[in-house]
Amino acid sequence: MKKALLLFTMLALVAGVMFGQSMNFTHDGPFPDTSSFKIPGGVINGGVAVDPAGKVWIQTYGGSTDTLSFSPDTTLTGAIYVFNPDGSQTGFSPILTLSGVDETGASVTDTLDGSGYGLNVDPSTGNILSVKWSTRLWLIDYKTGAGIRRIQNPITGYTSSLSGVAANSMGEIFLGPVLPGGAVQILNPDFSAGTQVATSVGEYGRTIAVSADGNDVYVPRFTALKTYVYHSDNGSLGPYALTDSIFLGGSVETIAIHPVTGYVWAPVDRRSDSTWTSTANTYYAYDPGTKSIVDSFKTDMAYDPTAAYPRGTAFSPTGDTVYVGHFDSPTDPAVSRFVKASLLSVQRIDDAIPEGFALEQNFPNPFNPSTEIRFSIGQAGFTTVRVYDMLGREVAQLVNQELEAGTFTATFNASHLTSGTYVYEVVSGGVRLTKKMMLLK
């Protein structure tokens, strides 16, 4: 029965790739705009999270990217950056030090000079969980950026790197080991030790996820080319049993659960073997109820998937937006944003064939926060519609696909942008047309 279930899962994955999925998310550009602000270090290792207010927390992998002065000396730090949805930094960003109490109750202050191994949100409070120095876990107030508490080496009997962090709706914390042999550990909300999901897990891993009720724990092991699923009918009370393996034949180094649908999202593309016929740098959504792939979207980055790849995933509270962090990405942005296709949609208006190419003024204009852009293409071809700010930085990509000849309307939602003048552009069949529009909030 077990083998049949695994085979069914694998066939469902392959069938989903072969027959195509409804691309649920569309690329909306880098976040923040890296031509105006480059995240120091530019390498993400699980360090992306979105708090209940929609603020985006970014923690780089490198621990020597920012300078903090301690007169007369300075030290290099790996800051935590916090951005509003429009890309502006919050008043307490960057966070260079954290103060709180440790597992003994003693007051501690850490300068963030170690590598970042993961960020996530505690759904019970909205506060941020941060793994720094690969072995220390911090809880941070999401409203102020202040440290609350810290624990070092939180997995019983294991003192090496942690493979990310996750939490269920009760604020219980789930941690896994990077190296083979460590346990999958649960902490209580006060950081005291709880039960263990597994006393030992093999192979290497970089991430972990847990369902809201705590019944299902997803432990990807990228060297095993599979993601283990542990289940308990009693949630964190246990006991947990290894009941399934998903994403068979695929290397998974970041994983996240959609806050609304409960689908398990992961990119399955690097070091994959022949049993996984995936498309490079493509995210797939696994439905635990049907045990099948139900959706996908492509990151559409320019990098070589053997060198740079997704290693960080965070959904907005409504699930309409997802932020993807990349590891070892020298040419692409450290973090990119993708929005639900319904927010960036294109529809054909009628069946008439236009005589040539045209781009109309958006309506309404000025607008807040959405507007429609109507354009006509005289012959079928690959078409893009992009939006730029007045410095020439791309802020949105509305269309990026083959279109038949016809007249179309594209909806642009600028809820994440600030007021100002923007340029929109349509390119098709070697023709490029542009116009300006104004966002007033």
Q: Which of 88, 162, 167, 155 is nearest to 123 (CA)?
A: 167
Residue 196: the pLDDT is: 97
343 pLDDT more than 80? no
User: What percentage of the chain reaches a pLDDT higher than 90?
Assistant: 52
Confidence bin at 11 (pLDDT 50/70/90): very low
pTM: 0.75
Q: How confident is the model at residue 435 (pLDDT cuts 50, 70, 90)?
A: very high
* Lowest mean per-residue pLDDT among 313-322, 364-373, 396-405: 396-405
Domain 344-439 in the same topology as domain 2-340? no
Closest CA to 16 of 319, 245, 248: 248
6-20, 59-73, 296-310, 362-376: least confidently modelled range: 6-20
Structural domain boundaries of the chain?
2-340, 344-439
Tell me the mean pLDDT in the region 382-408.
Answer: 85
Measured in residues, the chain has a length of: 441
Confidence (pLDDT) at 268: 80
Which of residues 68 and 405 earns the better pLDDT score?
A: 405
pLDDT for position 310: 86
Output the CA torsion 399→22→380→347 (10° steps): -60
What per-residue confidence (pLDDT) applies to 75? 55
Q: What secondary structure does DSSP assign to 212-269, as a single string?
A: TTSSEEEEEETTTTEEEEEE-TTGGGS--EEEEEESTT---S--EE-TTT--EEEE--
Mean pLDDT taken over the chain: 84
Structure tokens at 65: 């990217």
Higher pLDDT, 220 or 268: 220
pLDDT tens digits along 44-81: 889 999 999 899 999 988 755 555 544 444 555 678 99
Q: How confident is the model at residue 35 (pLDDT cuts 50, 70, 90)?
A: low
Helices (H) and strands (E) in the chain, counts: 1, 35
Q: Which residues pair with 73 in a beta bridge?
A: 70
What CATH number has the domain spanning 2-340?
2.130.10.10
Residue 370 has pLDDT above 70, yes or no: yes
Most confident of 13-17, 327-331, 386-390: 386-390
Please state the rounded mean pLDDT for residues 99-112: 93
| Closest by CA position to 85, among listed 321, 439, 372 | 321
Determine the pLDDT at residue 326.
86
**pLDDT exceeds 90 at position 288:** yes
Residue 218 has pLDDT above 90, yes or no: yes
The average pLDDT across 361-366 equals 95
Higher pLDDT among residues 148 and 308, named by residue? 148
Instruction: Check if the beta carbon of residue 148 is closer than 8 Å to that of residue 100.
Output: yes
- pLDDT given for residue 12 in this prediction: 39
State how far the Cα of 423 lies from the Cα of 100, in Å rounded to an integer.
Answer: 47
CATH class of the 344-439 domain in this structure: mainly beta
Q: Quick one: pLDDT at residue 238? A: 94
So what's the pLDDT on residue 371? 92
Decide: 172 and 188 in contact? Cβ < 8 Å.
yes
Cα gap 116→66, rounded to integer Å: 13
Q: Of 274, 266, 259, 273, nearest to 299 (Cα)?
A: 266
Residue 278 has pLDDT above 70, yes or no: no
Query: Rounded to an integer, what distance in angstroms lies between the CA atom of residue 163 and that of residue 244?
Result: 20
- What mean pLDDT is predicted for residues 188-199? 97
Q: CA–CA distance from 305 to each of 223, 272, 322 (Å)?
A: 16, 11, 20
Segment 379-407 mean pLDDT: 85
